[in-house]
């Protein structure tokens, strides 16, 4: 039986949503500073306007929506979903005012693609976008990759106990340190430290590729945010191919891999525990899957004659396989070539790689390596049970920081999520088919949107049908939040209509 939520429930959800909007408004001070530094006065005003709206909404909510009702799990999950649906509205204002987007829906799409670290873009004439607006696209990925709700609430809220559900509602499961606030701060510490190291390395390599040092610094910062947060936006329409540099690609592959590692694994690596790389079930699953898929991709590329020399084959196959599997979306070739020049097998592998994705508790999307690993181990256990004598005790284990016994509920949960993900991928593909796009392209773009893979074969463009844009937006947010928060919000809305008082 559904109980109808009262006004205090909705006030609480709106209050937490408004706090996130307030945080997004404050975050606009950063692109505002970039705009002022580059003399982009029109964009500076758009950031002032959008930032002011965010801050005003946040303060008004604090004054009018306070309630004695305590935040429970359902409030928290619904707040997370509401926050993720609302943040791109504020973030989209300066994008829309930049004149690079055909409609506010396109700007909202870009905002969602940024925060959810997808990488699909509807920007017109990206190569002539102002620095501040282009920076804002990348900065949204940096904020969203670590988690907009968690950062805002750890900065502005007290009471770590209440943050637990908000934290897990954003698609994170690992509580690395004893409480959520410390865990969230560790996540941001990793992002900032890697940011300094990664941006520094990219600055050097991009400068060596021929850009002026100041220009290279701008590109390096944006590239780091796109790679570590597995976002996939690029400052140029040609993505990574713009730099024509194997060094840049090499550094990016390391940063993309770092982005696809869980923060819990980073915590182990920061202590120098390198054995965790080899023992961890999820790391092994992701690396094995990458190598298997890469092999199939190489077979496809060689059979179609796309590359017949070792070096171009190796370079493009490796970079794009890592980009797809980490769900980043940076590319060394124009996306359209995936369906026109890469045959059938190689793009299918990219779809599979994006679909599987990175590690749980990382900035990457997709089904996640641990779920694939647990389902395969569960399957292996079932096969052993069939083959061994009836009284044999079959125990499967997995390694995540320590050796643990695999339980049936864990396998069931992983399989359930696997089904939900496949359903999400299929739903977007069916919408693409409905609008007359070929199966290969419809599936590619759907998986790219839902998994945050971000590689595109060109369907995501300004003249895409509006219902398909909305479908991709929904796939982005459902995929980023891993279903539960969106289900909670849908449950609230259903209860408001059909629930009993």
CB of 162 to other proteins, least distance (A): 23
CB of 160 to other proteins, least distance (A): 16
CB of 65 to other proteins, least distance (A): 36
Query: In this structure, are residues 442 and 464 in contact, taking their beta carbons and an 8 Å threshold?
Result: no
DSSP codes of every residue in 287-337 = HHHHHHHHHHHHHHHHHHTS--SHHHHHHHHHHHHHHHHTT----SS-TTH
Assigned token pair, 37: 């530094």
383 CB neighbour count, 10 Å cutoff: 11
Instruction: Among 257, 285, 320, 331, indicate the residue that binds other proteins (CB under 8 A).
Output: 257
How many CA atoms are closer than 13 Å to the CA of 447, on its beta-carbon side? 25
Stretch that binds other proteins, among 96-104, 159-167, 314-322, 441-449 (CB under 8 A): 314-322
From the DSSP assignment, how many helices (H) and strands (E) are in the chain?
A: 22, 2
Size of the site for other proteins (CB under 8 A): 40
Q: Which is nearer to other proteins, 242 or 287 (CB)?
A: 287
Could you say whether residue 468 binds other proteins (CB under 8 A)? Answer: no
CA 484, distance to chain mean position in Å, is 16
Q: Which is nearer to other proteins, 95 or 151 (CB)?
A: 151
Could you say whether residue 308 binds other proteins (CB under 8 A)? Answer: yes
Stretch that binds other proteins, among 46-54, 312-320, 391-399, 462-470 (CB under 8 A): 312-320
Assigned token pair, 388: 């061994």
Query: In this structure, are residues 332 and 317 in contact, taking their beta carbons and an 8 Å threshold?
Result: no
Q: Which is nearer to other proteins, 314 or 435 (CB)?
A: 314
Residue 284 to residues 94, 191, 343, 363, 407, Cα–Cα distance (Å): 42, 23, 29, 18, 20
Q: Which is nearer to other proteins, 66 or 295 (CB)?
A: 295
Could you say whether residue 403 binds other proteins (CB under 8 A)? Answer: no
Could you say whether residue 498 binds other proteins (CB under 8 A)? Answer: no
Q: How many residues does the chain have?
A: 501
Strand partners, 399: 403
Q: Which is nearer to other proteins, 299 or 339 (CB)?
A: 299
Q: Which distant-in-sequence residues (6+ apart) come within 8 Å of 211 by Cβ?
A: 219, 243
Query: In this structure, are residues 13 and 74 in contact, taking their beta carbons and an 8 Å threshold?
Result: no
CB of 209 to other proteins, least distance (A): 19
Q: Footprint of other proteins on residues 181-200 (CB under 8 A)?
A: 186, 189-190, 193-194, 196-198
Q: Nearest to residue 31, comparing CAs of 23, 19, 17, 43? A: 43
Q: Footprint of other proteins on residues 260-299 (CB under 8 A)?
A: 261, 266-267, 269-272, 274, 277, 283, 287, 290-291, 294-295, 298-299
CA 331, CA 328: separation in Å to the nearest integer? 9
CB of 8 to other proteins, least distance (A): 39
Q: Is the dihedral of CA 122, 128, 133, 137 positive or negative?
A: positive
Could you say whether residue 33 binds other proteins (CB under 8 A)? Answer: no
Could you say whether residue 318 binds other proteins (CB under 8 A)? Answer: yes
Query: In this structure, are residues 260 and 364 in contact, taking their beta carbons and an 8 Å threshold?
Result: yes
Q: Footprint of other proteins on residues 322-361 (CB under 8 A)?
A: 322
CB of 335 to other proteins, least distance (A): 21
Could you say whether residue 10 binds other proteins (CB under 8 A)? Answer: no
* Residues lying near other proteins in the complex (CB under 8 A): 177, 186, 189-190, 193-194, 196-198, 253-254, 257-258, 261, 266-267, 269-272, 274, 277, 283, 287, 290-291, 294-295, 298-299, 302-303, 308, 310, 313-314, 317-318, 321-322
């Amino acid at each position: 039986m559904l109980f109808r939520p009262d006004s205090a429930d909705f006030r609480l959800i709106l209050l937490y949503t408004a706090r996130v909007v307030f945080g997004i408004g404050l975050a606009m001070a950063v692109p505002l500073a970039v705009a002022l530094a580059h003399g982009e006065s029109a964009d500076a005003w758009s950031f002032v306007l959008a930032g002011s709206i965010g801050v005003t909404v946040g303060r008004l909510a604090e004054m009018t929506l306070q309630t004695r009702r305590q935040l429970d799990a359902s409030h928290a999950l619904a707040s997370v979903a509401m926050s993720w649906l609302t943040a791109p509205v504020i973030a989209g204002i300066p994008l829309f005012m930049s004149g690079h987007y055909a409609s506010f829906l396109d700007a909202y799409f870009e905002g969602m693609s940024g925060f959810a670290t997808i990488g699909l873009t509807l920007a017109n004439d990206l190569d002539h976008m102002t620095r501040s607006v282009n920076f804002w696209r990348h900065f949204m990925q940096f904020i969203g990759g670590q988690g907009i709700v968690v950062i805002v609430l750890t900065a502005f809220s007290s009471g770590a106990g209440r943050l637990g559900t908000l934290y897990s509602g954003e698609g994170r499961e690992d509580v690395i340190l004893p409480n959520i606030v410390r865990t969230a701060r560790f996540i941001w510490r990793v992002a900032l430290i890697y940011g300094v190291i990664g941006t520094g390395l990219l600055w050097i390599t991009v400068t060596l590729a021929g850009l002026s040092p100041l220009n290279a610094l701008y590109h390096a910062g944006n590239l780091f945010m796109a790679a570590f947060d597995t976002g996939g936006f690029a400052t140029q329409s040609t993505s990574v191919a713009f730099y024509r540099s194997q060094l840049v690609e090499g550094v990016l592959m390391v940063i993309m891999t770092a982005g696809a590692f869980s923060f819990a694994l980073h915590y182990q690596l920061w202590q120098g525990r390198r054995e965790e790389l080899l023992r961890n079930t999820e790391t092994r699953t992701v690396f094995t899957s990458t190598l298997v898929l890469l092999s199939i991709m190489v077979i496809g590329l060689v059979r179609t004659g796309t590359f017949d020399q070792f070096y171009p084959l190796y370079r493009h196959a490796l970079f794009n396989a890592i980009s797809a599997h980490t769900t980043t979306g940076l590319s060394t070739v124009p996306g359209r070539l995936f369906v026109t020049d890469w045959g059938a097998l190689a793009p299918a592998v990219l779809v599979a790689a994006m679909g599987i994705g990175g590690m749980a508790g990382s900035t990457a999307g997709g089904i996640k390596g641990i779920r694939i690993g647990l389902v395969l181990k569960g399957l292996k256990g079932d096969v052993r049970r069939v083959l061994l004598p009836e009284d044999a005790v079959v125990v499967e284990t997995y390694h995540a920081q320590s050796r643990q016994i695999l339980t049936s509920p864990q396998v069931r949960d992983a399989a359930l999520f696997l089904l939900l993900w496949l359903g999400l991928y299929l739903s977007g593909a069916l919408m693409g088919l409905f609008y007359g796009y070929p199966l290969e392209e419809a599936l590619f773009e759907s998986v790219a949107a839902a998994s945050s893979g971000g590689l595109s074969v060109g369907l995501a463009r300004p003249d895409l049908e509006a219902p398909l844009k909305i479908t991709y937006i929904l796939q982005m947010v459902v995929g980023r939040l891993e279903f539960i928060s969106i289900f909670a919000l849908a449950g609230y809305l259903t209860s408001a209509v059909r629930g009993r008082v």
